[in-house]
Amino acid sequence: MNVPWDRSNIEDADKEQKRVGVLFVCMGNICRSPIAEGVFRRLAAQRGLINRLRIDSAGTHDYHCGEPPDRRAIQYARRRRYEIEKLRARKVIVEDFSSFDWIVAMDRANLRELEALRPADYQGHLGLLLDFAPEMGVREVPDPYYGSLEGFDRVLDLVEPAIAGLLERVAEELRKKGPI
């Protein structure tokens, strides 16, 4: 059966190609990476870039697939006006490398997991989130899951400047694809 040619499909594909994908990754996708996703979403929306981006988070392990973020992550994110309670944990998959131009890990252990999964032809950025905030003097966002409540504030303190740095780099890429 022939399907009528529909220009809107081409236009949708064109719009999709101009979108830049950003994926945040931690171990279980219930603390650090959903917090990073929430911070990135809000800052991108404030800059008017949200519709030019594909934003998600995932974990290298499937411990919590389908679950919302940790209640403490939700609580501490909400204190800074980031809404993450609707997010649901998922495991990173090989196909993510074809969907996301920027894949950023919270720590070296998760970065190693991603490097092992990365297809040889992946041309995007794969690295640590805190590399976008070298002034912080640390390269890894510590996992607050088993620690004290202050650990969630620490995650936010580290993630916020790193997200600002990452968003600058992503905005540069968007400018190359067309007017922002």
32 has catalytic annotation: yes
Angle subtended at Cα 5 by Cα 3 and Cα 18, rounded to the nearest 5 degrees: 120
Residue 88 is among the residues annotated as catalytic for this protein: no
Q: How many CB atoms lie within 10 A of CB 105?
A: 29
Residue 103's φ and ψ, nearest 5 degrees, are: -120, 115
- In the set 31, 32, 56, 96, the catalytic residue is 32
Q: Which residue has the tokens 């993630």?
A: 159
Q: Which residues make Cβ contacts (< 8 Å) with residue 154, sequence separation at least 6?
A: 142, 144
Q: Name the active-site residue from 56, 96, 107, 143.
A: 143
Cα–Cα distance for residue pair 127/124, rounded to 1 Å = 10
Q: What is the CA radius of gyration of the chain?
A: 17
Is 26 one of the catalytic residues? yes
Q: Which sign does the torsion angle of CA 151, 157, 158, 159 carry?
A: positive
Annotated catalytic residue within 26, 41, 70, 96: 26
Catalytic residues: 26, 32, 143
